[in-house]
Structures are given as C-alpha cells and as structure tokens.
C-alpha cells in the first residue's frame, strides 16, 4: 500500500557554503523561499529563518565557516524543512551550558542555541572537541 503517514520523504536537498558573513543572509533567504513555497505561515517562516540565521552565524563566528544543507520533506500530510549546519571548528566544550542559554564565549547574548531549540520541532546537536559541530533542525507546516 501507499506510504505511511509518519515516514518522511526528502523532496529536495541543496548545500550552501558559509564562508563569509554574507552567506548567513544567503542561507536565511533561501530558507525563507523554500518555506514560503511550501505554505509556511508568517510565524513559521519567521521561526525557521531566525533559526537559520542563528545557526549559520554560529557556523561562521564559532566554527570558522562550514556548510548548510537545506532539505524539503513531506510526511504525506505536511511539508517540512530540515536544515543541517556543520563546521570543522573547535566543537562545543560545554554543551549543556551552551544549550541552557545566556552563555556565550563570544560576549554576545548566548541565546542562539537555546532560542533556536524553542523555534523548531526537532533539534539535534552533535559536537566533538577539536572536530566540529553539526546541528540538525526540522520545522513542519501546521496540519
């Protein structure tokens, strides 16, 4: 029979470099285009693009550059956007603290990771000291 409702299918995938500060804007604008085309409302678009800005900036500022992969998903009922941000930077030494919020090694607000986590449905982080960091987030259209 047909596909199961919760089995998600990847409809498209593209990877963008984050080598310069302008690339943060490129990634965020691309995320907005995809989300708007898939029917995300203004609130979901703002959440997704803000998350994209935060994580792309982290790649650039803390990770020394890297890549973002943007994917369109479908689970049969809804569309989703998955974004993977990765870098080969120093990794996050104290992940628990970094996720708590209000902690920054760059003298900025320290609300990027903790805030992003609250904006999306799925949030996963894989970081290794000296090897790099990968953050994966997914946001879905409403039912």
Ligand X SMILES: Nc1ncnc2c1ncn2[C@@H]1O[C@H](COP(=O)(O)OP(=O)(O)O)[C@@H](O)[C@H]1O
Site residues for other proteins per CB under 8 A: 21-22, 24-25, 28, 32, 42-43, 45-47, 49-50, 53-54, 57, 101, 108-109, 111-112, 114-116, 118-119
59 binds, among other proteins, Mg ion, ligand X, none (CB under 5 to 8 A by kind): ligand X
| Positions in the binding site for ligand X (CB under 6 A) | 54, 58-59, 62-63, 87, 89-92, 98, 103-106, 108-114, 133
Residue the block writes with tokens 């609130």: 43
Task: Count the site residues for Mg ion by CB under 5 A.
Answer: 2
Q: What is the 3-state secondary structure (H, E, C) of 8-50?
A: CEEEEEEEEEECCHHHHHHHHHHHHHHHHHCCCCHHHHHHHHH
Cβ proximity to ligand X: between 74 and 104 the closer is 104
Based on the shown chain and the rule CB under 5 A, indicate whether residue 58 belongs to the binding site for Mg ion: yes
Q: How far is the CB of 79 from other proteins (least distance, A)?
A: 18
Q: How far is the CB of 54 from other proteins (least distance, A)?
A: 5
State the angle between helix axes of 42-61 and 112-119 in degrees (0 to 180), rounded to the nearest 10. 150
Tell me how far apart the alpha carbons of residues 19 and 49 are, in angstroms, rounded to a whole number. 19
* Pairing outcome for strands 9-18 and 132-140: unpaired
Residue the block writes with tokens 């987030």: 137
64 binds, among ligand X, other proteins, Mg ion, none (CB under 5 to 8 A by kind): none
């Amino acid at each position: 029979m047909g596909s199961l409702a919760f089995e998600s299918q990847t409809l498209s995938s593209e990877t963008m470099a984050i080598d310069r500060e302008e690339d943060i804007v490129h990634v965020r604008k691309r995320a907005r285009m995809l989300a708007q085309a898939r029917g995300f409302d203004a609130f979901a678009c703002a959440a997704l693009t803000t998350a994209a800005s935060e994580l792309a900036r982290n790649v650039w500022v803390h990770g020394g550059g890297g890549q973002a992969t943007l994917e369109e998903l479908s689970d049969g009922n809804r569309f989703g956007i998955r974004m993977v941000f990765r870098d080969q930077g120093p990794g996050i030494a104290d992940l628990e603290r970094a996720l708590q919020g209000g902690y920054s090694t760059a003298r900025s607000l320290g609300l990027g990771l903790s805030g992003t986590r609250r904006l999306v449905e799925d949030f996963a982080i894989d970081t290794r000291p000296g090897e790099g960091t990968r953050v994966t987030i997914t946001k879905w259209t409403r039912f």
